[in-house]
């Protein structure tokens, strides 16, 4: 089985099945199609499948023209029929791994996918988990379910963990251009995955086990979460001292060694950084250990939206206005600059906090035309307002939550009564700086 699959990967006759056609799955398909492979895309969301079959993309950095080309040339076959999983030689699992309401890992999507694979698993298939998770998931959660097929790992089928590494909105890094860490359950699995990804990814980094690869991903994102917490906490201190944290960081980053710049914001967003540290702390508790440093970072980052709202209240108070009844415009609902990805965006918590305090809230985001349903928020039906001089002038405060390139800071400040900047987007504005507040 190893020999046949190796040959199919080598001559690119292997069919690549990607399960989960979202912000990880579609870029991965793009990388493999560009490398000359035919792909099948699996998703339980029929709307996504129908959209792709119609040649329409729902992700900003994958164009509809690209998707239409995949479909017309039979490079991609999207389907919601999980009974067809056996048709793919390789199965790449790219499903969500969110947190539960109690901030414990929610692996229901991974487990459900594993059960679907187990029903159709055939000899000669390579299964790769790409979803972010805690160490031991591949071996202790995924493998036992796949074993229900009666097939043997390392002989009949092959199992690997290879964490996704996506940087949406960054034109310098596509899925194909970011090195890929690969950790197989056994030598044969690792070698097959290394051979596979080497066709489509700039560099493959093999490690000794799935646990190493899983821990690698957790380390990468926890590193960022902890350092962002540091600058967020310093921001709250420096604000009180009248010191600009962004200018401090820009000065510090001139040091050519021993310092990497991280920047504050209104909270953490995206699928990985707000979630991964809690996966690690959950795992530590199971081992009877406390990860106090990581938990503290999580606490600091999670309270930043509240801090922003408290600063807003202070600034409105200077104008003898309460939050209740004030018109507040949120600029940017995506979790980061120039993307259409709302996952875990702190803007939704800002929206929730403002509405609970009685504010009259509206929003603008050039990449999100209407607000999607969110797992943890009761999101009202809202559409993006046009950013006109009249709209800005009507607001008591314009709150910049995401610094999209499309935003003209001079224009925004010129036509607004007050601007609360959480991203240092107004740094180069010269006229009207008396209207600007930072948080």
Q: Does the domain formed by 2-208 have CATH 3.40.50.720?
A: yes
Q: In percent, how much of the chain has pLDDT > 90?
A: 82
In angstroms, the Cα distances linking 438 to 233, 419, 424 are: 15, 8, 7
Fold category of 304-439 in CATH? Rossmann fold (3.40.50)
Q: Do residues 215 and 283 touch, judged by C-beta distance below 8 A?
A: no
Segments making up each domain of the chain, as ranges: 2-208, 209-302, 304-439
Two domains, one topology: 2-208 and 304-439: yes
For residue range 195-227, what is the model confidence (pLDDT) as tens digits? 999 999 999 999 999 999 999 999 998 999 999
Please give the structure tokens belonging to residue 199: 């066709």
CA–CA distance, 395 with 115 (Å, rounded to integer):
51
User: Among the CATH numbers 3.40.50.300, 3.40.470.10, 3.40.50.720, 3.40.50.2000, which is that of 209-302?
Assistant: 3.40.50.720
Please give the structure tokens belonging to residue 356: 């609970």
**216, 272, 385, 397: the active-site residue:** 272
Region of 208 please: left (phi>0), alpha (psi -120 to 50) or beta.
Answer: alpha
Starting at the edge strand that comes first in sequence, how are the strands of the sheet with 436-438 ordered? 360-364, 327-331, 397-400, 419-421, 436-438
pLDDT at 294: 87
Q: Do residues 402 and 344 touch, judged by C-beta distance below 8 A?
A: no
What is the H or E stretch that residue 311 is in? helix 304-318
Nearest to 68 by CA among 80, 54, 81: 54
Global pTM exceeds 0.75: yes
**Within 10 Å of residue 432's Cβ, how many Cβ atoms?**
15
269 confidence band (pLDDT: 50, 70, 90)? confident
pLDDT at 172: 66
- Reply yes or no on whether 272 is catalytic: yes
For residue range 25-73, what is the model confidence (pLDDT) as tens digits? 999 999 999 999 999 999 999 999 999 999 999 998 899 999 999 999 9
């Amino acid at each position: 089985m190893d020999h046949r699959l190796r040959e199919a990967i080598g001559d690119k006759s292997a069919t690549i099945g990607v399960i989960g056609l979202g912000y990880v799955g579609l870029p991965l398909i793009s990388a493999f199609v560009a490398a000359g492979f035919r792909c099948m895309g699996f998703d339980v969301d029929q709307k996504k499948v129908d959209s792709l079959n119609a040649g329409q993309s729902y992700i900003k950095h994958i164009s509809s023209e690209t998707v239409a080309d995949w479909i017309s040339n039979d490079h991609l076959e999207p389907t919601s029929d999980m009974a067809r999983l056996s048709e793919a030689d390789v199965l790449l699992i790219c499903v969500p791994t969110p947190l539960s309401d109690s901030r414990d890992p929610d692996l229901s999507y991974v487990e459900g996918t594993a059960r679907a694979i187990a029903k159709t698993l055939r000899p000669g298939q390579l299964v790769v988990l790409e979803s972010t998770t805690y160490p031991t998931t591949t071996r202790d959660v995924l493998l036992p379910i796949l074993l229900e097929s009666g097939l043997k790992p390392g002989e009949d089928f092959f199992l690997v963990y290879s964490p996704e590494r996506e940087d949406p909105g960054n034109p310098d890094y596509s899925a194909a251009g970011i090195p890929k860490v690969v950790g197989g359950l056994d030598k044969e699995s690792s070698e097959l995955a290394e051979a596979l990804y080497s066709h489509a990814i700039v560099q493959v980094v093999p490690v000794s086990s799935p646990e190493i690869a899983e821990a690698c991903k957790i380390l990468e994102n926890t590193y960022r979460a902890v350092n962002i917490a540091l600058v967020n906490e310093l921001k709250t201190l420096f604000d009180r001292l009248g010191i600009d944290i962004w200018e401090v960081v820009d000065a510090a980053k001139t040091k050519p060694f021993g310092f990497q710049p991280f920047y504050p914001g209104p909270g953490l967003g995206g699928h990985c950084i707000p979630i991964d540290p809690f996966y690690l702390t959950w795992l530590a508790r199971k081992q009877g250990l406390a990860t106090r440093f990581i938990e503290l970072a999580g606490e600091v980052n999670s309270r930043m939206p509240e801090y922003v709202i408290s600063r807003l209240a202070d600034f409105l108070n200077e104008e003898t206005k309460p939050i209740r009844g004030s018109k507040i415009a949120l600029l940017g609902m995506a979790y980061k600059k120039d993307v259409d990805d709302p996952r875990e965006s702190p803007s939704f918590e800002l929206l929730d906090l403002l509405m609970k305090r009685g504010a009259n809230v509206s929003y603008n985001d050039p990449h999100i035309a209407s607000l999607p349903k969110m797992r943890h928020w009761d999101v009202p039906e809202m559409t993006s307002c046009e950013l006109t001089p009249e709209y800005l002038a009507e607001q008591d405060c314009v709150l910049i939550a995401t610094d999209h390139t499309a935003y003209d800071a001079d224009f925004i400040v010129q036509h607004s009564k007050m601007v609360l900047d959480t991203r240092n987007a107004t740094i180069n504005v010269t006229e009207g700086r008396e209207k600007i507040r930072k948080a």
